[in-house]
Chain A
Amino acid sequence: MCGIAGIVALRDGLPPPDLRDLEAMVLAQRHRGPDEFGLYRDRRAGLGHARLSIIDLASGQQPLANEDETLWVVFNGEIFNYVELRAELVSRGHRFRTRSDTEVIVHAYEAWGDDAFARFNGQFAIALWDAAGETLVLARDRLGVRPLYLCEHGGRLWFASEVKALFAGAPSIPRAFDPAGLAETFTFWTVVPPQSVFEGITELEPGHVRRVSRDHSEDRAFWTPRYPTGDASGFSGPIEEAVERVRAALEGAVRLRMLRADVPVGSYLSGGLDSSLVAALGRRVKGDKFCTFSIRFEDAEYDETPYQRAVAALIESEHRDIVVRREDIAAEFPAVVAHAERPLLRTAPAPLFLLSRLVRDSGIKVVLTGEGADEMFAGYDLFREGKVRRFWGRQPASTLRPRLLERLYPYLARSPVAQRAMAREFFGRGRDRPDVPGFSHQTRWSSAAALHRLFTPELRDRVRRLDVVERLLSALPPEFRGWSPLAQDQYLEVRTLLSGYLLSSQGDRMLMAHSVEGRFPFLDSDVVELANSLPASFKLMVLDEKHALKRAAEGLVPPEVLRRPKQPYRAPDAMSFVGPRAPEWAADLMSERAVASAGVFDPRAVERLWRKCQVSGGGEQFSNADNMAVVGVLSTGLLHEQLLARAPGRGTGLEFRTVVDRIGEHPAVASGSGATRGV
């Protein structure tokens, strides 16, 4: 895993990229790749790389070129099927100098052009500079595991794995929040790429390739999620066969992620089905000395220790864990936001930040995680809720049908003050139109969007004119309406929360904060294609979530893990920031001065919110809205302070292992210059 950066001139007459700018960009993301650093520069383009060495430790340095040094690559991620691709390319006459997956990228691109990316089974952000054709090609993996941010500024395209590197490379880039990005965050819980929360900065969409030449830039999808559109187009075998194939595909996905590494691979273990299954399969590949890592919570409500211990005992892993307290979340939250680089509505990333530190301190660089299972195999309550609401919507006047909601949310049935009628009002919204796209997500989106009332009047005005839900739903693929309702819900979940939040704020960013690479067997190309091809009823059988996956996991994980009700991963939210042990900076950020300076929220509204929190004094009962509001205001304030208000740091003094500086040469005739040198 690594950090990449680059600067490419979009017009003629500009001086060459400044090496100091490239160095500042690499340094700003040093945490992503602390092992080695590299630079490439010619008259039009510069590339920078910070390496976390995992495959081919001795010779996988970047930037790396093809045989005649006309095509240069910097790359963040892994191509897990690089061994197979390499063999195929060798048989086509390509010559390789290294054993790295990086070199496979340049040759695959030479052989297949943009079609190469769809052949990669992996997680990647790639920048290829065709020095001869003066064309930049950027690509990002199917589901957006690895980040890639872009900014056009001063006649150049700047790109990097993290936003802070763009600001460090070009401190003259204006730094401000983008209203559309804020509106999306306070609706979907995340921005939806290419939108970012920063004005003028975009994110390359997952599964897309961008081709940039002089005065021309074009994005194209090389992959999008697809689901069956009729009985004939998906998996048509019996459930038993589906279960067999799911298990085989997962075994293959885990094997690939365990073996394609020249360093030991461990696993996260939450105590839920997904990571337990991944850890169990990983242990089978690894044999002895397999490390598992868990988060425990001092607050019993969030804790899953007994399940974690049961799995660790069964698979005989070397198990390590950390106990997270509210004050730990508060103490780390500023660093968490600095890494996430976006407002958060939940503190759930904070424990994951602490967990990756534990992994690093244990001497492990790579971990498997269970992320993606809930999206691919339909694990979320939201899918079940959508199904019940649609069932109800077919007979909107029924008083019997909404009672199924109590199956999903048992608290409704035992609620002391009979919130049931109110809940029915809430969940019943829009039920007369259950076929509109986004039906299942409406409840969640509108709950978060209710927080727009905290925005300043100016921002609310702007946000009102930007209907971000409409923007998302009007850009759906044409085949969307032909998919099953569950598939539609899965697609929207993948587009929004998986890519933008789970793989980013709870994934890449928290892992990379401590130079740890996450690997995601449930996002393996074969696993995803198989899961997407299954009939909806195999995934969500009546209301049994992840039905096929649970059956595939039988015998591999403890029965109590298989049978337990799904527990969403949560951490103490607002309560981490109030009460006697609350951090001082939280009160400062809630002050009128700080809120006004960030310019996003109305100071009076925030004052009311904060006063309400103080009155409850760290009590347990914060509503969902209060939790999102407190965490959202604090994280936005931190982001403003750290990334927007403060001038970006411009470090120097990196020791570069690889420097290819071709200033003075004409790139097209520089072949075989062998310019690589240590500094």
Chain B
Amino acid sequence: MTIEQRLRQFIIENFYVTDPAEVQDDTLLVTAGFIDSTGMLEVIAFLEEEFGIQVADHETTPENLESVARMAAFVTRKRAGSSPPGGVEAVG
């Protein structure tokens, strides 16, 4: 399975999606209402467990995590050891 497939499967299971077609690679998952703030913690926990990466606080941004495609790119970059862009500066 590709990273995208694994991510999509997790999201469909964990956020009890009826119609898998609704989770496209570019679906904005927070905006679309699939993921709320606690849900984002679940996503991060999944990324760390499943892909053996560490997600730092400053990386917890919509730019890195809001869609399957962005998460997959983020995971790929992390595994390659390159430092992903921090995205927008965290509030506070």
Interfacial residues, chain A to chain B (CB-CB below 8 A):
399, 402-403, 405-406, 412-413, 416-426, 429, 446-447, 449-450, 453-457, 460, 602, 604-606, 608-609, 611-612, 621-626, 629
CB-based contact B36/A624 at 8 Å: yes
CB-based contact A422/B37 at 8 Å: yes
Closest 10 CB pairs of A and B: A450-B33, A623-B38, A418-B57, A608-B16, A609-B16, A420-B91, A602-B18, A605-B18, A421-B61, A605-B16
Give the residues from 1 to 42 in chain B that come closer than 8 angstroms, CB to CB, to chain A. 12-19, 22, 30-34, 36-42
Minimum Cβ distance to chain A for residue B21 (Å): 11
Interface: B85 (CB within 8 A): no
Question: Bound complex: CA of A449 vs CA of B31, how far in Å?
Answer: 12
CB-based contact B61/A426 at 8 Å: no
Question: Bound complex: CA of A399 vs CA of B87, how far in Å?
Answer: 14
Contact of B60 (CB < 8 Å), options: A399, A402, A418, A624: A418
Minimum Cβ distance to chain A for residue B57 (Å): 4
Assuming A457-B19, A623-B36, A623-B39, is B58 touching A418 (CB within 8 A)?
yes
Assuming A425-B62, A426-B36, A623-B36, is B91 touching A399 (CB within 8 A)?
yes
Assuming A605-B16, A605-B17, is B31 touching A623 (CB within 8 A)?
no
Q: Is the interface of B mostly helix, strand, loop or mixed?
A: loop
CB-based contact A450/B34 at 8 Å: yes
Question: Bound complex: CA of A454 vs CA of B12, how far in Å?
Answer: 11
Interface: B81 (CB within 8 A): no
Closest to B32 in A: A450
CB-based contact B38/A417 at 8 Å: no
CB-based contact A629/B33 at 8 Å: no
Contact of B42 (CB < 8 Å), options: A429, A606, A623: A623
Assuming A425-B62, A429-B31, A608-B13, is B18 touching A419 (CB within 8 A)?
no
Contact of A453 (CB < 8 Å), options: B17, B40, B61: B17
CB-based contact B16/A417 at 8 Å: no
CB-based contact A447/B41 at 8 Å: no
CB-based contact A453/B16 at 8 Å: yes
Question: Bound complex: CA of A602 vs CA of B91, how far in Å?
Answer: 38
Minimum Cβ distance to chain B for residue A547 (Å): 26
Contacts of B37 in A (CB 8 A): 419, 422-423, 426, 623
Interfacial residues, chain B to chain A (CB-CB below 8 A):
12-19, 22, 30-34, 36-42, 44, 55, 57-58, 60-62, 65-66, 87-92
Closest to B31 in A: A429
CB-based contact B18/A426 at 8 Å: no
Minimum Cβ distance to chain B for residue A77 (Å): 39
Assuming A413-B92, A429-B31, is B18 touching A612 (CB within 8 A)?
no
Further contacts, 13 of them, CB under 8 A, given A402-B91, A426-B37, A447-B36: A406-B92, A416-B57, A418-B90, A419-B60, A421-B61, A425-B30, A453-B15, A453-B19, A456-B18, A457-B18, A608-B12, A608-B17, A623-B38
Closest to A402 in B: B91
CB-based contact A421/B88 at 8 Å: yes
Closest to B55 in A: A417
Could you show 28 A-B contacts with beta carbons less than 8 Å apart? Answer: A399-B91, A402-B91, A406-B92, A413-B92, A417-B41, A418-B60, A420-B90, A420-B91, A421-B62, A422-B60, A422-B61, A423-B37, A423-B91, A425-B30, A425-B62, A447-B33, A447-B36, A450-B34, A454-B16, A454-B18, A460-B19, A608-B12, A608-B13, A611-B13, A622-B38, A623-B39, A625-B38, A626-B38
Assuming A425-B62, A624-B38, A625-B39, is B14 touching A612 (CB within 8 A)?
yes
Question: Bound complex: CA of A621 vs CA of B14, how far in Å?
Answer: 14
Minimum Cβ distance to chain A for residue B72 (Å): 18
Contacts of A417 in B (CB 8 A): 41, 44, 55, 57, 60
Contacts of A416 in B (CB 8 A): 57
CB-based contact B40/A422 at 8 Å: yes
Minimum Cβ distance to chain B for residue A607 (Å): 8
Contacts of B18 in A (CB 8 A): 453-457, 460, 602, 604-605
CB-based contact B62/A606 at 8 Å: no
